């Protein structure tokens, strides 16, 4: 566009040559990729929204998290806790994880 003389363009004397096949294919490819990225962004946003609104399947008020720390062996500590808490009638289940719930 910058190589055209503005006066000649306004008078209609400029003849446009047909753009090359490579240029057209690159424009179409760029447009396709942009549309694909927009659609993917919308899908990812919907998935994140779904995950944020979906109930976790547990009542947060009924969960206790006890971080063990690095000094103790996690598997042995969990086994000892399960053995002690298995006799309690108010406790439904005991589970263990490598990370503290809500810490990451």
CA–CA gap between residue 61 and residue 31 (Å, rounded): 50
Report the domain count for the chain.
1
CA–CA gap between residue 20 and residue 25 (Å, rounded): 9
Neighbours of 54 (CB within 10 A): 8
pLDDT band at 91 (very low <50, low <70, confident <90, very high): confident
Return the pLDDT at 47.
Answer: 96
Residue 84 has pLDDT above 90, yes or no: no
Domain contains 96 = no
CA–CA gap between residue 11 and residue 46 (Å, rounded): 52
CA-to-CA separations, 53 to 10, 64, 78, 99, 103, in angstroms, rounded: 58, 22, 31, 23, 20
pTM score: 0.47
Return the pLDDT at 3.
Answer: 65
Domain contains 13 = yes
Domain carrying residue 15? 8-53
The pLDDT tens digits of the residues spanning 12-58 come to 776 666 667 888 899 999 999 999 999 999 999 999 999 889 887 77
Domain contains 49 = yes
CA–CA gap between residue 88 and residue 86 (Å, rounded): 6
pLDDT band at 90 (very low <50, low <70, confident <90, very high): confident
Domain contains 101 = no
């Amino acid at each position: 566009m910058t190589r055209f003389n503005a006066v000649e363009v306004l008078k209609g004397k400029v003849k446009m040559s047909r753009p090359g096949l490579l240029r057209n294919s690159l424009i179409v490819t760029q447009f396709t990729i942009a549309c694909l990225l927009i659609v993917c962004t919308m899908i990812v946003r919907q998935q994140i929204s779904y995950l944020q609104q979906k109930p976790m399947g547990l009542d947060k008020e009924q969960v206790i998290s006890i971080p063990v720390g690095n000094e103790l062996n996690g598997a042995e500590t969990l086994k000892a806790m399960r053995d002690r808490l298995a006799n309690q009638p108010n406790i439904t289940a005991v589970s263990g994880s490598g990370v503290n719930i809500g810490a990451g």
